[in-house]
Amino acid sequence: MIHLLVLLPLLGALIAWLIPGNRLRPLMLPTIALPHLGLSLYLIASPTVPVHGGWIWLDPLGKITLLAISSLFAVCAVYAVGYLAYRQERSNRVLCLGLLVCLAAMSLVTLCQHLGLLWVAIETTTVSMAPLIYFNRNARSIEATWKYLLICSVGIALALLGLLFLAYATHVAHQNATLLLPDLLEDASALNRGWLHAAFIFLLVGYGSKLGLAPLHTWKPDAYGEAPGLVGALLAGGLVNCAFLAILRVYQICLASVTELLFFQQVLVVLGLISMAVAAIFMARQHDFKRMLAYSSVEHVGILAVGLGIGKGALFGVLFHLINNGLTKGVLFLSSGNIHRSYGGKTVEVVQGALTRLPWSGGLFLAGFIAITGSPPFSPFISEFSIISSIFVQRQYLVGGLFLLFLAAIFIGMALTVLPMVMGTPRTDLEVTDYRDRMLTVGPPLVMLLVIVWLGVWPPEALLQLLKDGAAMLEVRS
């Protein structure tokens, strides 16, 4: 049953590759993604046991990530059918193949209890996304693809070195090197501190560059800016969540080692605050709205890192924010993709008065902006609020003060770009494009927005319980 999560998308990828018609092929995406979502929900709701000698187990942390990834992918898959109908000038064979392979790899990430296998799955997501960033086939997108591919590959290679250090620590301790998470958690406190320290640094740098934590975020604005909105949504809500799950696994080991936890938490808080600061600086006067969304992603990765570093009560907020950030980014990227299609440009000079020209997409983009900056009634408000309140409860006033300052600066910076875009009147000299808001391109982000409101107003009890279970895995046991 659990294998289907990986095998189903792979089968779909194979079929999508074989389908000759450019119009028919995108239908393969929802055909796979919707059953995948159903299967995920079923597995999340049912109790699971480790299989394959403990290698594969869908634990609460994996369940939360799987929920975030699978629901985002299902929405994007439906959207893709509508979006690709406008992009019939290009073959979408590689796009469909890459998306489905990436879904398989992302699902595998959530199932892995062996850190080596987790690494392989994350590297697969990196490679399978690369051709998708290059979908537009121009000089700018090839540059973005190259930067993404090189920085992420080198980063992931460093994470592998970190893993080997971790395994070497177990070798020094008892001659029996292992990377199986339960074993590592069991004997983490007995391992050599020097090797552990080195391992955590390399793992943080490696997965951090995949996550886009500043100062390792440099590929992000380029890749998010040049990729189609659909791919941007999956980068910001899918790959980020996978990399963050890897960081959570490292955090679990830190927690078990006791001595390394404080160091790791401090580094996370500092890197998180730097990310938020970088986002605040580059968000101001940002002309390209897709690049602006990339910096918003850097910001939210920073929020996740700060929350994880603070720990305790913030952990619930971090795990909830993982889901909320993914879905809200989905709304923003998909509606920005629509606006980009309609105006034929993605700078504020070209795009003005989106509410008039595209009432649905413009409205969704505006609502997404309000949601991502943490306003009620949307769910990111709840998760951000619980992180902030936990910071202050723990008397980390400096961290809390900076956190709020950066949030305010980001809100203003983002508003200065978003408001002129959606308000006002469209320019009269715009080129005419054939894009119109239709059911398939507006419906999916709208559904996602409604889910965010639902989670913000009345989160289901089962989800809250799952988040609590996940947070309990990351708490210090006394």
**CB nearer other proteins, residue 27 or residue 281:** 281
Candidates 20, 46, 139, 434; binder of other proteins (CB under 8 A) is 139
**CB nearer other proteins, residue 219 or residue 411:** 219
CB of 344 to other proteins, least distance (A): 18
CB of 88 to other proteins, least distance (A): 22
Query: Measured between alpha carbons, how far is 87 from 23 in angstroms, rounded to an integer?
Result: 10
Residue in 155, 123, 163 with CA at minimum distance from that of residue 249: 163
CB of 277 to other proteins, least distance (A): 15
**CB nearer other proteins, residue 224 or residue 369:** 224
192: left (phi over 0), alpha (psi -120 to 50) or beta: beta
Beta-carbon contacts of residue 21 (< 8 Å; ≥ 6 apart): none
Candidates 16, 102, 179, 181; binder of other proteins (CB under 8 A) is 179
* Total interface residues for other proteins by CB under 8 A: 49
Q: Is 117 in the site for other proteins (CB under 8 A)?
A: yes
Q: Is 138 in the site for other proteins (CB under 8 A)?
A: yes
Is the separation of the CB atoms in 141 and 115 below 8 Å? no
Q: How many CA atoms lie within 13 A of 395 on its CB side?
A: 0
CB of 69 to other proteins, least distance (A): 19
Query: Measured between alpha carbons, how far is 214 from 276 in angstroms, rounded to an integer?
Result: 8
Q: Which stretch binds other proteins (CB under 8 A): 125-133, 296-304, 350-358, 359-367?
A: 125-133
Q: Is 149 in the site for other proteins (CB under 8 A)?
A: yes
Beta-carbon contacts of residue 472 (< 8 Å; ≥ 6 apart): 60
CB of 110 to other proteins, least distance (A): 16
Q: Is 144 in the site for other proteins (CB under 8 A)?
A: yes
Q: Is 46 in the site for other proteins (CB under 8 A)?
A: no
Interface characters, 302-341, with other proteins (x: CB under 8 A): ----------------------------------------
Interface characters, 268-307, with other proteins (x: CB under 8 A): --------------x----x--------------------
Tell me the CA end-to-end span of the chain in Å, nearest whole number. Answer: 36
Q: Is 157 in the site for other proteins (CB under 8 A)?
A: yes
CB of 172 to other proteins, least distance (A): 5
Q: What is the dihedral of CA 400, 404, 405, 406, to 10 degrees?
A: 100
Both structure tokens of 185:
């958690």
Q: Is 145 in the site for other proteins (CB under 8 A)?
A: yes
**CB nearer other proteins, residue 167 or residue 452:** 167
Q: Is 178 in the site for other proteins (CB under 8 A)?
A: yes
Both structure tokens of 112:
């892995």
Residues 205-234 contacting other proteins, CB under 8 A: 221-222, 225-226
H helices of 112-239, in order, are 115-133, 139-174, 181-187, 193-211, 219-226, 229-234
Using CA atoms, how far residue 274 sits from 208, 301, 307, 405, 460, in Å, is 13, 11, 14, 13, 34
Q: Is 187 in the site for other proteins (CB under 8 A)?
A: no
Is the separation of the CB atoms in 91 and 97 below 8 Å? no
Beta-carbon contacts of residue 478 (< 8 Å; ≥ 6 apart): none
Q: Is 394 in the site for other proteins (CB under 8 A)?
A: no
Q: Is 147 in the site for other proteins (CB under 8 A)?
A: yes
Q: What is the DSSP letter of 435?
A: -
Q: b/e for 228-246, b at 16 or more Cβ within 10 A? A: bbbbbbbbbbbbbbbbbbb
**CB nearer other proteins, residue 268 or residue 421:** 421
Q: Is 345 in the site for other proteins (CB under 8 A)?
A: no
Candidates 2, 10, 48, 146; binder of other proteins (CB under 8 A) is 146
Q: Which stretch binds other proteins (CB under 8 A): 29-37, 38-46, 176-184, 298-306?
A: 176-184
Q: How many CA atoms lie within 13 A of 207 on its CB side?
A: 31
Q: Is 285 exposed, middle or buried (0-12, 13-18, 19+ CB in 10 A)?
A: exposed
Q: Is 250 in the site for other proteins (CB under 8 A)?
A: no
Query: Measured between alpha carbons, how far is 307 from 311 in angstroms, rounded to an integer?
Result: 6
Q: Is 120 in the site for other proteins (CB under 8 A)?
A: yes
Q: Which stretch binds other proteins (CB under 8 A): 127-135, 235-243, 325-333, 424-432?
A: 127-135
Chain residues in the site for other proteins (CB under 8 A): 114, 116-117, 119-120, 123-124, 126-127, 130-131, 134, 137-140, 142-147, 149-150, 153-154, 157, 160-161, 164, 167-168, 170-172, 175-179, 192, 194-195, 221-222, 225-226, 282, 287
